[in-house]
Amino acid sequence: MTFKFLHTADLHLDSPLKALALRDPDLAETVGTATRTTLTRIVDLCLEEEVDALLIAGDLWDGKYSSTKTPRFLKTELNRLDAAGIACFIIRGNHDAESKLNAELDMPANTVVFTARDRTRTFRAGDMDIAVHGLSMPTPHVSESLLPKYPQPVPGAFNIGMMHTSLNGSADHSPYAPCALADLDAFGYGYWALGHIHKRAEYHGAATVVMPGTPQGRDIGEAGETSVSLVTVQPDGTIRVTPRSVAGVRFEKIAVPLDGIDEWSGIIAAMSSALRGQAAEPVTVDAVILRPVLSGRSRLAWRIRRDLDSLTDEARVIAEGFPALWIDKLELQLDETEDPAISQLPADLVALVQGGLVGDPALAQAIGNATEEFLSDLPADLRALLGETPDQITAQSACLLRRGAEDLLTRLSISAESE
């Protein structure tokens, strides 16, 4: 008889999804409750698949964002598992450690929240002995590996380790309880249920090591399909991992190439074609929030920048014809080299803006200093606005400077044209 469980992490209940397309009240409601919808779908999937256990590998909460109603909602969902005889195992991650709601939830009998001391629970599933090992940390910053704190495998049992870790590091996440994949593989557990990195990854060696990613993307930076892991373990130890989608909202970027398009109507047609292609894809979510990316060379680049607001409205009107599609905003990756309006500006002025400003190391240093000062004045939950590391912040600042230079040239060309 097989042992079946569902593995998820990084749900971030009540985390504010960062979408700009919230003018519509219905969409605002859908986005505002997306993480709760996703948890309900996770429990639905557990019941549908008749799993033996649900594993939540950290960051169930999202720090101080959680509503005071969240503990009651969470307990309702956990009670559904309890009524079906499905065990639930939870470890706390770095965002959980920031939450003030941890102490407000009286867990149902089926639910185990591992502490920094209570690290192993055993039970029987069919003909198999199962040992689940987990470790929660009380602080949001852990700089050392947690692996030495984990118990040795229980002999004769299928051993699962639950850990919230950045592994060897990720450009999109700050280091947290770093750990080498090779060390996890050699530790003796059959499966490692990880959390913290929001992008899905699997490793199949002596152990199966899975980072399921977030089940619900929170912004366009977490675009595309998200998932949980449905895991089946055979009596001989064979493991099958199947990604399953449970998100309530999905973010997507779609390409809108404009090479050679010289008529405004052609731009509208290109956006319409891209949206039709997206609408033809199977939809398993309540809403798909899109960011069309307009790219390539077009003589209309200057006009696109000037009239971006009206072009965005055009895109939203097109999207209204397709159920579940919504426009976040338009992103521009246009090549300005053939822009006739900019070419009419004095060459030394264009060179000053495109080269002198963007490539000036003294300006880059000044911007870096100003950015650091600006971020330090923000509330703690907004200080990662431009990234988690100095390199990410520098790259984002440089990107904003390039965009600002393009906008400046566009505005100068528009002013020159109107005179």
The domain locations on the chain are: 3-244, 248-338, 345-419
Read off the pLDDT band of 21 (50, 70, 90).
very low
Given a cut of 60, whether residue 265 has pLDDT beyond it is: yes
Name the average pLDDT for the chain: 85
What pTM was computed for the model? 0.79
**What pLDDT sits at residue 372?**
80
Read off the pLDDT band of 192 (50, 70, 90).
very high
Tell me: the pLDDT tens digits for 31-44?
A: 888 999 999 999 99
| Helices marked H in 181-263 | 181-185
% of the chain surpassing 70 pLDDT? 83
User: Which of 412, 150, 179 has the alpha carbon at shortest distance from 305?
Assistant: 412
Tokens of 45: 């999937």
Sequence-separated (6 or more) residues with CB below 8 Å from residue 62: 12, 13, 14, 15, 35, 95, 99
| Helices marked H in 280-360 | 301-306, 308-319, 340-343, 347-351
DSSP 182: H
- The string of DSSP codes covering 90-101 is EE--HHHHH-S-
Domain 3-244 sits in which CATH superfamily?
Answer: Metallo-dependent phosphatases (3.60.21.10)
Integer Cα distance of 326 and 348 in angstroms: 42
**125: three-class secondary structure by DSSP:** strand
| CA 228 to mean position of chain CA atoms | 13
Given a cut of 70, whether residue 229 has pLDDT beyond it is: yes
Mean per-residue pLDDT for 314-343?
Answer: 82
Tokens of 208: 């199966």
**410: three-class secondary structure by DSSP:** helix
Mean per-residue pLDDT for 232-255?
Answer: 95
Given a cut of 90, whether residue 130 has pLDDT beyond it is: yes
Tell me: the pLDDT tens digits for 30-85?
A: 888 899 999 999 999 999 999 999 999 998 987 665 567 788 899 999 999 999 99
Question: Integer distance in angstroms from the first to the last C-alpha of the chain?
Answer: 81
